[in-house]
Copies of this chain bind each other. A is one copy, B any other.
Amino acid sequence: MNTLGFTIAAVERDTGLSKDVLRMWERRYGFPVPERDAHGERVYPVAQVERLRVIKRLMDQGYRPGKLIATPVEALSLLAPRRGRLAPEAGNEVDNSGYTELLDLLRQHDANGFVHALQQALARQGLQHFVQDIVAPLTQQVGDAWEDGRLEVFEEHLFTELTKRVLRQAIATLPQGSGSPRVLLTSVPDEQHMLGLLMVEALLALEGAECIPLGTQMPLLEISRAATAHRADIVALSFSVAFPSRQLPKILEQLRRALPTDVELWVGGSGVLRFTPSAGIRCFSTLEQGVEALAAWRSEHAG
> Which residues of chain A in 178-237 are interfacial with respect to chain B, using CB atoms and an 8 Å cutoff?
186, 188-190, 192, 212-215, 217-226, 229-230
B222→A154 contact, CB < 8 A: yes
Contact call A192/B217, Cβ cutoff below 8 A = yes
Contact A1:B258 (CB < 8 A) given known A165-B172, A169-B169: yes
Quick check: A3 and B152 within 8 Å, CB to CB? no
Cβ contact within 8 Å between B157 and A214 = yes
Query: What residue of chain B has the Cβ atom nearest to residue A169's Cβ?
Result: B172
Contacts of A112 in B (CB 8 A): 176
Q: Given A158-B214, A161-B214, A214-B161, are A225 and B152 neighbors across the interface (CB < 8 Å)?
A: yes
Tell me the nearest residue of chain B to A220, going by C-beta: B14
Q: Count A interface residues, CB 8 Å.
A: 59
Residue from B154, B157, B222 within 8 A of A152 (CB atoms) = B222
For the complex formed, measure the closest distance between the CB of A104 and the CB atoms of chain B, giving whole angstroms.
15
Is A161 a contact of B3 with CB atoms below 8 Å? Answer: no
Across-interface contacts of A176 in B (CB, < 8 A): 112
Chain B nearest Cβ from A264, distance in angstroms? 17
**Partner among B154, B213, B221, B251 whose Cβ is within 8 Å of the Cβ of A214:** B154
Whether a CB of chain B sits under 8 angstroms from the CB of A168 is: yes
- Is residue A153 contacting chain B, with contact meaning CB distance below 8 A? yes
Does A4 reach chain B (CB closer than 8 Å)? Answer: yes
Q: Is the CB of B154 within 8 A of A10?
A: no
* Distance of A188 Cα from B168 Cα, bound (Å): 24
Select A225's contact among B154, B162, B212, beta carbons within 8 Å. Answer: B154
Bound CA span A217–B157, Å: 9
